[in-house]
Chain A
């Protein structure tokens, strides 16, 4: 393996919701084109951290952030960073699949339509984008004949894949996933995990999960958080086989949360 290349680095990241400090001195290097799992007990700040990477936390008026986050080498808190461009490059997938109340086709091309003038998007280009995105997430064969069904009528697993597919036409570099499998059954979970491995080739993936087995199976690196701090961040095998910190050991053995 060559020298690691980092997609996201944070230095001394602190975040407060009003008076409550949800992230404490988080310093991380998240490698490019790897799956990084984010684990920790409920309320430790996993979602909060993930939402910092595309600055979607700021919508709430009472959030204060200190510290640095570099995404693809650029400080995303620099004044001239465009939030819209940032979010194009850093996509996010949520716990509950959230397809828009549109057809499958329109869901996939939604991002393209936002960022291009009508004239720049001939039908052929849209069709090609839809096919490519759906192929990448493994939905093409299932859905190619019913691209105009409302996305909200698909099965949950398909909806979640569609939510991933929706990001792809914009050519994101990073995909953040917040417990992407928690609304799915065993088969759905397996399907998404396989998809993660397929996507790893081109994208940096950061995945929050509550499922230890999943973190172990489906990640290259693993970050363990507790009460807003990063306790341990190592290669997944190392973290699970010989955790350095007693808290980590206790958590992965299932002693709390």
Chain B
């Protein structure tokens, strides 16, 4: 007797088992990734909670950094990140536009592409040494916010170039051809069609670099960050670009390794601030992306 139509064959049953197994394993992986992250955030919050307050954010450290707040480090990190991205974004985006829209596919552009990709993988301590040699010593900037943020800029540049190129390449070729065929110049094509359709991708790539720059310690350690610096509490313009500054990542390192008898909650509280700031910026990136994506019309 034949089975009724559309009933499961033995082979089909095996495929179904495999399907369930695959789904289970993949979902498990996601959990394995998300749970530790949540656990980490929770742990930091609980441990750091005793110190977290508004005044923690807005006052100078006192008693050899054992008490008081983290204002100079917070402001220093903001300065470094903003300056680094102000430099790296236009240069990186323009580079990517040139490479993707103007340069013809030759061995030279392939070489440049390879170099950019590899630069993105250079350890940050190497960037630090480069920054020390190039900006601090050779350019005579001394150890300063300027030198440190330029070093960070060099570090993020290849990543911004790569992510921008990807965003540009995602704009369909047909749009460009449509433009050229009504006699648009390269720049008009970029300006009117390519950029408007790539901007969400470009911005996301740039904003994701905020977290990376904010978290790095090595590149700023030699080039402009200091262990301790007292500045006017709560004043947003307390640093000038030629000053040295404190930074959150470095401060965390200092209080855990260099300061004896620091309160146990202090490093956790600093970590929470760093993490929350970074998560907030990333959330902004996602929100921006969603907004721009819904405006996209193809």
Could you tell me which A residues sit within 8 Å of B by CB distance? 54, 56, 59-62, 84-88, 91-92, 94, 96, 98-102, 110-111, 114-115, 150, 152, 163, 166-167, 170
Q: A84-B184, A85-B183, A152-B297 are in contact. Are A61 and B104 (CB under 8 A)?
A: yes
Complex CA distance for A180 and B254, rounded to whole angstroms: 68
Q: Are A91 and B182 in contact (CB under 8 A)?
A: yes
With contacts A59-B104, A101-B197 known, is A54 near B175, CB below 8 A?
Answer: no
> Beta-carbon contacts of B149-185 to A below 8 Å, as 1s and 0s?
0000000000000000000000010110111111111
CA distance A1 to B218 in the complex (A): 82
Q: How far is the CA of A61 from the CA of B109 in the complex (A)?
A: 11
Q: List 12 A-B contacts (CB under 8 A).
A: A61-B106, A87-B180, A87-B183, A98-B174, A98-B175, A101-B175, A101-B296, A111-B184, A150-B298, A167-B181, A167-B182, A170-B182
Is B188 an interface residue, CB under 8 A from the partner?
yes
Whole-angstrom distance between the alpha carbons of A61 and B161 in the complex?
Answer: 22
What is the CB-to-nearest-CB distance from B56 to chain A, in angstroms, rounded to a whole number? 48
Question: What residues of A have a CB within 8 angstroms of the CB of B180 in the complex?
Answer: 56, 87
CB of A174, distance to nearest CB on chain B (Å): 11
For the complex, what is the distance from the CA of A62 to the CA of B105, rounded to whole Å? 8
A150 to B174, CA, bound (A): 16
Given known contacts A61-B105, A62-B105, A101-B298, A56 and B177 CB-to-CB distance under 8 angstroms: yes
> What chain B residues lie within 8 Å of A91 (beta carbons)?
181-182
Residues from chain B with a CB closer than 8 A to the CB of A59 are 104
Query: What's the Cα separation between A60 and B298 when bound, in Å?
Result: 26
Which of chain B's residues have a CB closer than 8 A to the CB of A170?
182-183
> B57-104: which have CB < 8 Å to A?
104
Q: How far does the alpha carbon of A167 sit from the alpha carbon of B175 in the complex, in Å?
A: 14
Check B231 for interface membership: any CB of A closer than 8 A: no
Contacting A at CB under 8 A, from B21-74, are none
Q: Which residues of B contact A (CB under 8 A)?
A: 104-106, 172, 174-175, 177-185, 188, 192-193, 197, 296-298
Which chain B residues lie closer than 8 Å to A99 at the CB level?
Answer: 178
Are B105's CB and A60's CB within 8 A?
yes
Residue of B at shortest CB range from A166? B182
A119 to B197, CA, bound (A): 26
Residues of A contacting B104 in the complex (Cβ-Cβ under 8 angstroms)? 59-61
B182 close to A88 (CB less than 8 A): yes
Q: Which residues of B contact A101 (CB under 8 A)?
A: 175, 193, 197, 296-298
Measured between beta carbons, the chain A residues less than 8 angstroms from B296 are 101
Contacts known (A101-B298, A152-B297); A56 close to B181, Cβ less than 8 A: yes
What residue in chain B is nearest A175 (Cβ atoms)? B181
Which residues on the A side are within 8 Å of B298 (C-beta)? Answer: 101, 150, 152
Q: Which residues of B contact A166 (CB under 8 A)?
A: 178, 182
Q: Which residues of B contact A102 (CB under 8 A)?
A: 297
Residues on B with beta carbons closer than 8 Å to the beta carbon of A100:
175, 178-179, 193
Distance, CA A59 to CA B181, complexed state (A): 13
What's the nearest-Cβ distance from chain A to residue B173, in Å?
A: 9
Which A residues are CB-close (under 8 A) to B181?
Answer: 54, 56, 87, 91-92, 167
A-B pairs with lowest CB-CB distance, top 3: A61-B104, A111-B182, A98-B174
Contact check, B183 vs A115: say whether CB atoms are below 8 A apart. yes
In-complex Cβ contact of A88 among B175, B178, B183, B188 (8 A): B183
- In chain B, what residue has the closest Cβ to A91? B181
Separation in Å of the A52 CB from the closest CB of chain B? 14
Query: Which listed residue (B105, B174, B188) contacts A114, Cβ 8 A?
Result: B188
